[in-house]
Amino acid sequence: MNRAFAVMTALICLLFASAGFADQPTPWQVDLQTPVTPIMHEIKWFNYYTLWFIVPITILVLILLVVVAMKFRASKNPVPSRTSHNTMIEIVWTVGPVLILFFIAIPSFNMLNAQLTIPTNPDLTIKATATQWLWSYEYEGGENPLSFDSYILKDEDRAAAGKEDLGAYPRLLAVDNELVVPVNKTVRLLVTAAPTDVIHAFAMPAFGLKIDAVPGRLNETWFKAEKEGMYYGQCSELCGKDHAYMPIAIRVVSEEQYDTWATSAQGDLSGANRALMALAAQPADAVRVAATESK
């Protein structure tokens, strides 16, 4: 019975296996991207939380406008009221906004504090340097720190890179060399721009991450990706004529895959990236576990 169930599970996973989770903008998207970091979970919660204030206020203002327009129009009130003020109204529209701002400010400050407080002893430190119009990454630590450049992937280079699947590697968002990080590990990110360059911004929506890259200044942030997959962002500071062609791609993998990639990338970055792509195209871990149990 268990063996039959394991085989059936493996077949189902094989049938529906895909190239892996990839979060990116979608047509007519009105909601935030799926959160995959603790900070982004808080941001999405705060987004819905503020709607409980915004929607009622908007409806109230609309109702008041309609009432005023209908009840106090010139045809119905040819002689306007000469009331100068109303004490109760003054109290309500002073105390009300103060209370609303109080309930919004507390979780807002808590979230801001979580974003700006860098966890002690991060598992990995990466420096991202912006230049017109690419990102350069350097993995800090070790005797031979790994570093490479990340350019936008041109359409004519897709076949050679093995990235012809527009679903997994979308146009204007895919890059030649992705930033690779391990899942469930705290990554400290140092962001700057080349000394003679302009201001850029490192933004990854699914991570709740957005920080300026300023020449001559080192800004610091962090993230902890909770789900494996490919995630896309862009430079979010107008930085020149090719601002729209400066994407950011982060591939989140298991710790074992990351260790293998980091070792291989020292000598052959392209080969190491291709190996990760091949693993991403394979069925999920559940398939391998089920296949093992069926033996």
Buried b (16+ CB within 10 A) or exposed e, 23-62: bbeeeeeeeebebbbbbbebbbeeeeeeeeeeeeeeeeee
- In this structure, the answer to whether residues 159 and 65 fall within a common structural domain is no
In a domain, 206, yes or no: yes
> Does some domain include residue 138?
yes
- DSSP states of 222-251: EE---S-EEEEEEE-S--STTGGG-EEEEE
> Does 47 share its domain with 130?
no
Indicate if 246 and 166 belong to the same structural domain: yes
Question: 94 with 201, same domain?
Answer: no
User: pLDDT at position 253, please?
Assistant: 94
pLDDT of residue 23 exceeding 50, the answer is yes
Across the chain, mean pLDDT equals: 86
Residues 102 and 208 in one domain: no
Say yes or no: 232 and 143 in one domain: yes
Residue 87 confidence (pLDDT):
87
Q: Report whether 106 contacts 30 (CB < 8 A).
A: no
Residue 32 placed within a domain: no
209 and 130: one domain? yes
Q: How many domains does the chain have?
A: 2
Per-residue pLDDT tens for 123-165?
Answer: 999 999 999 999 999 999 877 789 999 999 999 999 988 899 8
CATH code for the domain in which residue 187 is found:
2.60.40.420
* Confidence at residue 21, expressed as pLDDT on a 0 to 100 scale: 55
In 3D space, the residue among 212, 193, 59 whose CA is nearest the CA of residue 135 turns out to be 193
Residues 110 and 213 in one domain: no
- 95: containing domain: 38-73+90-116
**Amino acid at site 204:** M
> The whole model's pTM is what?
0.79
Please tell me the distance from the alpha carbon of residue 143 to that of residue 130, in angstroms, as a whole number. 24
The answer to whether residue 219 is domain-embedded is yes
Residue 20, domain member (yes or no): no
- Cα 102 to Cα 43, 91, 94, 108: the distances in Å are 18, 16, 13, 10
Helix axes 87-116, 38-71, angle to 10 degrees: 160
Highest averaged pLDDT of the listed ranges 27-31, 91-95, 127-131, 276-280: 127-131
**Mean pLDDT calculated for residue range 76-84:** 79
Please give the average per-residue pLDDT across 267-295, as a whole number: 66
Same-domain check for residues 195 and 211: yes
φ, ψ for residue 223, nearest 5 deg = -155, 160
